[in-house]
């Protein structure tokens, strides 16, 4: 079974675009440590749900719960770093956060939400005016257009209310699963997994998921995380990813999760997967 599992994992990894970008010494060390410890390898199945035995899933679930507990102790307050007052403002902020920092989004939305204090004002806004304000967030034409269009759709199809169902959220212009999960988790307190860059990178290092496809990672995490705590866990991952488990220079020596870390898995050609 181990060989079959290894074959499937190798096949899965071949599908992922690998990058020869730099591998930090710390991550490499973490991976090397694991590689040098056969017992650790044998006891740490990676979560490829189609190939894993139920016993392996159960092992990863119990490991995931310990990781969730540990991170909760380090970051008791799980908070979204985007500043908003109304649900539709969160929707707009998340739309602006694509390829932009939350700090910059918060600066931009301060002016944006002052100038357009209601959903109706966004729906009737001139594209050029919105573009001018959101320009610092990048991709400003597309973002401004979808902000106006999603405001119009919220008014025309949902009575001005942000929907609380995944399918309805996905029908809004510019809204993908990441945004929809954030709304469901933060606004409606539903089980949700926000697979942003921090979540994908860290969960892969911790052996909770594989690859860097957000939808596939979400599916894997939904199988192993305690879902009632998943939304908060994802917020904590963002904090952890910013101050400790960074993409290029993770502070492994001071890491509270090091005992569960598997390091950065290699791609089929031996290069580290990076994200």
Catalytic site positions? 178, 196
Identify the sign of the CA torsion 220, 226, 232, 237: negative
**CB closer to ligand SF4, 178 vs 205:** 205
- Report the candidate in 148, 153, 247, 158 with the shortest Cα–Cα distance to residue 196: 247
Output phi, psi for 171, to 5 deg: -80, -10
Contact window for ligand SF4 (CB under 6 A) among 57-65, 104-112, 113-121, 243-251: 243-251
- Please count the CA atoms within 13 angstroms of the CA of 37 that sit on its side-chain side: 15
Q: Is 64 a binder of ligand SF4 (CB under 6 A)?
A: no
Binding mask 19-48 for ligand SF4 (x = CB under 6 A): -------xx--x------------------
CA distance 131 to 108: 11
* SS3 state of residue 272: strand
Q: Is 71 a binder of ligand SF4 (CB under 6 A)?
A: no
**CB closer to ligand SF4, 150 vs 237:** 237
Cα Rg, the chain, nearest whole Å: 20
Binding mask 182-221 for ligand SF4 (x = CB under 6 A): -----------------------xx---------------
Residues that bind ligand SF4 (CB under 6 A): 26-27, 30, 205-206, 244-245, 250-252, 255, 257-258, 261
């Amino acid at each position: 079974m181990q060989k079959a599992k290894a074959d499937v994992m190798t096949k899965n990894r071949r599908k992922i675009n690998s990058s020869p970008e730099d591998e930090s010494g710390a991550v490499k060390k973490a991976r090397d440590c694991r590689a040098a410890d056969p017992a650790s390898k044998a006891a740490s199945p990676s979560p490829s749900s189609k190939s894993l035995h139920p016993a392996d899933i159960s092992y990863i679930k119990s490991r995931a719960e310990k990781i969730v507990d540990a991170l909760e102790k380090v970051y008791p307050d799980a908070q979204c770093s985007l500043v908003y007052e109304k649900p539709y403002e969160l929707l707009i902020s998340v739309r602006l956060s694509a390829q932009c920092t939350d700090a910059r989004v918060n600066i931009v939305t301060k002016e944006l939400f002052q100038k357009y204090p209601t959903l109706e004002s966004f729906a009737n806004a001139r594209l050029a005016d919105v573009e001018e304000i959101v320009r610092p967030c990048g991709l400003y034409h597309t973002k401004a257009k979808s902000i106006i269009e999603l405001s119009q759709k919220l008014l025309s199809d949902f009575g001005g209310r942000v929907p609380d169902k995944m399918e309805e959220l996905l029908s809004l212009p510019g809204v993908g699963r990441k945004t929809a999960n954030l709304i469901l988790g933060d606004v409606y307190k539903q089980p949700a997994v926000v697979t942003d860059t921090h979540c994908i990178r860290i969960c892969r290092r911790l052996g909770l998921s594989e690859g860097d496809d957000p939808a596939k990672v979400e599916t894997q995490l939904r199988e192993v995380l305690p879902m009632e705590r998943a939304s908060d866990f994802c917020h904590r991952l963002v904090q952890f990813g910013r101050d400790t488990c960074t993409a290029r220079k993770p502070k492994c020596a001071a890491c509270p999760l090091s005992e569960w870390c598997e390091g950065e898995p290699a791609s089929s050609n031996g290069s580290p997967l990076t994200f």
